[in-house]
Amino acid sequence: MKNKKNSKSNKSNIIKMKTKHKSKNLIHIRKVKISLIICILIFIILLVRIGFIQFVQGSYLQQLAYNQQLINQIISPKRGNIYDSTGKALAISAQVDTITINPLKIKEDTEEETKALQEKIAKGLSDIFSLDYEEVLSKVSSKSQVETIIKKVEQDKVDELKQWMEDNDIKIGINIDEDSKRYYPYNTVASNLIGFCGNDNQGLSGIEYAWDSILTGTPGKIVSYKGSDQKEIPNSEETYISAENGSDLTLTIDLNIQTIVEKYLKQAVEDNSCSRGGNVIVMNPKTGDILAMSSYPDYDLNTPYTPNSTLAQTYDSLSDEQKSEALYKMWANKSVAETYEPGSTFKLITSSVALEENITTTDKAGDFYCKGYEEFNDISNSTIKIHCWRAQPHGVQTLREALCNSCNPAFMQLGKRITAPTLYKYYDAFGLFDTTGSGLYGEQSSIFQNLDNVGPVELATMSFGQRLNVTPLQMITAVSCIANDGVLMKPRIVKQITNTETNSVSEVSTTEVRQVISKHTAEQVKSMMESVVTKGTGRHAAVSGYSIGGKTGTSEPPENNKDQGYVASYVAISPVEDTQVVLLLTLYKPLGEHQGGQVAGPVVSQMLSEILPYLGIPSDSTNSSVTNSSNLIIIPDVRNKTVAEAEKTLKNSGFNVKTYVNGDSNTLLVKDQMPKPGASLAKNSMVIIYGEGSDVATSVTVPDLKGMNLSEATTTLKEKNLNINTEGSGIVITQDYPRDEQVPEGTIIRVTLKQTLTDAH
């Protein structure tokens, strides 16, 4: 009983709390759940991230790690050479060296010693190669694996560096790597055609740029490995991947023909003060091969950023932007990069269309009548007169006579008969609406009126080659089609590609585009071209002993751009029957005389008189007109005779003699003579003889003989101890040595004389 009371009493002492008790020693179940969920989510995210890195970014990250562990040293390939058609090198890659350093290998035991070594190397490199010391020191002190100090180093500088390294006991950290440098042995020859390369041997202009992928080759490399400390791992495997050298190009250009045309082009531009320069192309019509292509002024390919003499006159006054534009213009190849109005040379195209369409014949009497002008109504219904070039009308003419006279009204009448749609059909067939596909850098296309916009005035001017623009290459390609029996050939500039690794040769085949006109029509046009030279306005381009066909051209500047000036041109073919050569000469903005026959014709004659014999094209000796040939005396060979004996022999032969002797003329032997033995000269001409110990001096300046008669030219040359050989009669129109050229005393200057023409255009 007592126990029961106590139990009851204890229960009554318990106090019941009305609020729940919160203890800090207990963790609430909700927080546990949240923490657990967060941990699971983080774990899932980590798993996803690891999976993404492993399976998605694995290859990329592996490559990054691989790259960080690699040291790549690039081996430059040798750029392919460029040769002319006879095998002469026009562009070559000579071996030079590139100097690089490994900054992390330039290290000593202490920081101070390392800094002193870096400064020493920077000073040595900057002194040897004339570089900025601070820039070199920055590279030497960098954390890079490889730094390039200088490229294209000549051998003498490499030898100097090697000696310096030996003297200063420096064996690591400086590398001498093989490289190549572009050289152009002939400096300015074909400069606008060949183009040049940049510092990394990449083509920047001309053939160097257009054929860069063939010439460049594929770089090689040396691969080694580095550790996490960014230092090269000793004795690690090194991989060598050899460079694949570029292929050689053999051009269709013949260096001999190229130098011939460049000599006379330069002379023509300077003699006629052609402020916009000049251009010449020589082509083989049977193959489309470009035998020569030159623009003047030219530039030196070995120093392409140096302004030529023409540009240098104003270069310093130009802004930076203007200087860049001027250099690009200096580098441009006028044959393809600039268009011009062809003028009367385009009458050959109009004549071809008319004959092919049977609209006329070559010698139909009274077919055309020139009253001095033609009248047309323009779009405002105003009457416009378009005049003939000659003040006195030509009157009644055949097509042959109209072409010989270069009569504009006759061709305006002919164009009206042909109609614009028919002309445009043939322009397209001649390839005048498209680029030629020659593979030359910067080739432009022509500018013609839209056919729908061709009215009577446009048709008239188009018929004689004005108010339309073509490139010189398009024009000569079209004329070559006529010369090639009416078959159009694609111009070819690269003849062969030689793989320098395997020596295999790939021929770049010639391409026949289409038959444009019949062989009969082509023969008729060529016959008329020959008449232009023998009877018409193109007589100044005649070459003794060869059949020459030609057409002169003179285009006026457009009304809205008179500063453009006249363009004087001449296109010639030879021989006429079986044409081997087509030549187009274009002179831009000549000062004073601007008619193509007068300005360009004589220059074409000079060029062809050397090109045709060089090509082995036989001459017709019955057509030779060398004057006074029966009075010429052959110069005897007096070399290895005593000076006194030689002088007596020459005087007995009828020559005047001048001697250069250092000693006794009775005992000293003749070392050389000018002119050479076997040449023919008129009586009393000058022969120079040089005794032993005397050098032949190039000290006489060739005078300008143009416009002189025979007596004046002979006297002028005689005063300078120079000799003369003449061809023709009248006044001098050409001379084989240009004015101001330096030649030895006794040199024979060959001149061509012709009667003055009154019908030149």
Residue 52 DSSP code:
I
Q: What is the pLDDT of residues 284-310, one digit of tens each?
A: 999 999 999 999 999 999 999 999 999
Which pairing describes strands 723-728 and 748-754: parallel, antiparallel, or unpaired? Answer: parallel
**CA nearest 343: which of 478, 471, 461, 482?**
461
What is the C-alpha to C-alpha distance for residues 57 and 67, in angstroms, rounded to an integer? Answer: 15
What's the pLDDT score for residue 159? 86
pLDDT for the residue numbered 78: 84
The answer to whether 249 and 282 have CB atoms below 8 angstroms apart is no
Q: Average the pLDDT over each of 109-113, 338-342, 458-462, 670-674 and give the range with the smallest value.
A: 109-113
Which CA distances in Å does 640 have to 203, 235, 646, 672?
53, 71, 9, 8
- In the 8-state DSSP scheme, what is residue 343? G
* Residues 566/554, Cβ–Cβ less than 8 Å: yes
Mean pLDDT of 154-169: 87
Is the pTM value of this prediction over 0.75? no
Radius of gyration of the chain from Cα atoms?
40
List, by residue range, all CATH 3.40.710.10 domains of the chain: 343-623
Tell me, what's the pLDDT at 226?
52
**Average pLDDT score over the chain:** 87
Does pLDDT of 719 surpass 70? yes
Query: In this structure, is the dihedral angle defined by the CA atoms of residues 263, 268, 270 and 275, taken in order, positive or negative?
Result: negative
pLDDT at 335 over 90: yes
Mean pLDDT of the region 394-404: 96
CATH for 629-754, options being 3.40.47.10, 3.40.50.1700, 3.30.10.20, 3.20.20.20? 3.30.10.20
Is residue 66 predicted with pLDDT exceeding 90?
no
Q: How far is CA 512 from the centre of its chain?
A: 25
- List residues bridging with 296 in a β-sheet: 278
Contacts of 132 (CB under 8 A, 6+ apart): 126
Give the domain 343-623 fold. Beta-lactamase (3.40.710)
Q: Please enumerate in sequence order all residues whose Cβ is within 8 A of that of 551, keeping only pairs 6 or more positions apart, or say none.
A: 344, 345, 347, 348, 403, 406, 529, 532, 538, 570, 571
CATH superfamily of 80-217+244-251: Penicillin-binding protein 2a (Domain 2) (3.90.1310.10)
What confidence tier does 255 reach under pLDDT thresholds 50, 70, 90? very high
pLDDT tens per residue, range 449-458: 999 999 999 9
- Every domain of the chain with CATH number 3.90.1310.10 lies at 80-217+244-251
